[in-house]
């Protein structure tokens, strides 16, 4: 590993085991991600555009927002699977969980230096590193801004081509804005697929910037527009949840158990009270529920 690090430092072109399969990525998103037309489009386009450039002018920064169980972590694993030979177990995919790594709110300074060192070290080992920041809503405010120099276009950093990296932030911040629009669209008798990113982009950025527990509270990452794309994940309705259940059943060789699909559907909680359209936990509980009813 040490030899490789030295080589990467000198050559500036180290690609580690980076083996992107863009078609596989697009197909996987299209086929296996339910009810998320915006995430499908935005993630595919952003990744394709980014990978077309041999020397990108800034890193790819994606921020996933939406309710629990709607597919945010799922999409980040799909990305890992199709970008690296060794998929999520690749040593160049780094996952970061604030409650685990940065549990204490009064240690912001210490966490900032640790985060900076960690990103720098990993980028030196591999310019094509992927950094996934899960549970951003638990990140102590002020910590994330230490990443500003890594995310922007202009800063020149010694030795590492930091612009080849991919950053993925994941949080539930902004879910109220997203859920409200999806509900209004439905109540107006329109299709959820009619929703476009421009209907949500500005209000989502504002919500994330103004929310204390978003990891981006008053963050320069938002005000300086360092996020390439904010990706909204829409609340899943009954038909999406049923697709998740059917997939789970088929994986267990029980494709035809419609009784179980119905049992799982009725065992979940839905909002709003008046209408009961959207699953409160998305597809998150499905494997456990299928276990229970099978
Ligand atoms: N839109 C979806 N299409 C297909 N499967 C989904 C979708 N959303 C969730 N799932 C399934 O549910 C599981 C849990 O979802 P996931 O971990 O991606 O949720 P999340 O949005 O990251 O939520 P949280 O904020 O609670 O972590 C996934 O592993 C996947 O199997």
The predicted structure's pLDDT at residue 54: 80
Average pLDDT over the chain, rounded to an integer: 89
Residue 43's alpha-carbon distances to 75, 194, 197, 233, in angstroms, are 9, 18, 12, 11
Contact present, 63 and 169 (Cβ < 8 Å):
yes
**β-strands 60-66, 166-171 pairing:** parallel
User: Ligand 1 atom closest to Cα of 134?
Assistant: 27
Domain ranges of the chain: 2-233, 238-293
pTM: 0.92
Kindly tell me if the per-residue pLDDT of 127 is higher than 90.
no
Residue 140: the pLDDT is 84
The predicted structure's pLDDT at residue 230: 96
Residue ranges around ligand 1 (CB below 6 Å): 32-36, 68-74, 172, 233, 236, 244, 282-284
1-46 pLDDT per residue, tens = 455 455 444 444 456 777 888 999 999 999 999 999 999 999 999 9
Q: Tell me the average pLDDT across 192-217.
A: 92
Predicted-assembly ipTM surpassing the 0.95 threshold: yes
Distance in angstroms (rounded) separating the CA atoms of residues 78 and 264: 25
Question: Does 94 have pLDDT greater than 70?
Answer: yes
Hey, whose CA ends up nearest to atom 25 of ligand 1?
Answer: 68
The CATH number of 2-233, from 3.40.50.300, 3.30.420.280, 3.30.465.10, 3.80.10.10, is: 3.40.50.300
Check pLDDT > 80 for residue 215.
Answer: yes
* Greater pLDDT, 10 or 142: 142
Average pLDDT over residues 145-158: 76
Q: Which helix (H) or strand (E) holds 166?
A: strand 166-171
Residue 181 is predicted with a pLDDT of 97
Q: Whose CA is nearest to atom 14 of ligand 1?
A: 284
- Of ligand 1's atoms, which has the minimum distance to the CA of residue 283? 12
| 245-286 pLDDT, tens digit each | 999 999 999 999 999 999 999 999 999 999 999 999 999 999
pLDDT of residue 85: 67
Element of type H or E holding 101: helix 98-101
pLDDT at 136 over 80: yes
Average confidence (pLDDT) over 56-84: 93
């Amino acid at each position: 590993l040490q030899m490789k690090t030295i080589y990467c430092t000198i050559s500036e072109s180290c690609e580690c085991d980076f083996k992107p399969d863009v078609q596989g990525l697009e197909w996987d998103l299209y086929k296996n991600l339910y009810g998320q037309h915006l995430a499908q489009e935005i993630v595919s386009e952003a990744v394709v555009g980014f990978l077309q450039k041999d020397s990108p002018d800034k890193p790819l920064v994606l921020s996933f927002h939406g309710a629990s169980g709607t597919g945010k972590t799922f999409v980040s694993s799909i990305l890992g699977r199709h970008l690296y030979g060794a998929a999520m177990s690749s040593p160049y995919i780094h996952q970061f969980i604030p409650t685990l790594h940065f549990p204490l709110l009064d240690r912001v300074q210490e966490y900032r230096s640790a985060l900076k060192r960690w990103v720098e070290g990993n980028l030196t080992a591999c310019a094509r590193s992927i950094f996934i920041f899960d549970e951003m809503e638990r990140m102590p405010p002020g910590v994330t801004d230490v990443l500003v120099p890594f995310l922007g276009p202009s800063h020149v950093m010694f030795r590492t081509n930091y612009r080849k990296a991919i950053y993925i932030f994941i949080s539930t911040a902004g879910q109220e804005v997203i859920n409200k629009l999806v509900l209004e669209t439905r109540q107006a008798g329109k299709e959820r697929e009619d929703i476009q990113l421009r209907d949500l982009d500005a209000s989502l950025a504002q919500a994330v910037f103004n929310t204390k527990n978003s990891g981006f509270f008053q963050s320069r990452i938002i005000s300086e527009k360092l996020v390439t794309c904010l990706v909204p994940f829409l609340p899943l309705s009954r038909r999406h949840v049923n697709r998740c259940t059917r997939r789970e059943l088929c994986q267990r060789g029980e494709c035809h158990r419609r009784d179980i699909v119905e049992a799982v559907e009725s065992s979940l909680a839905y909002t709003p009270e008046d209408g009961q359209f959207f699953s409160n936990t998305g597809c998150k509980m499905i494997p456990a529920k299928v276990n229970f009813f099978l």
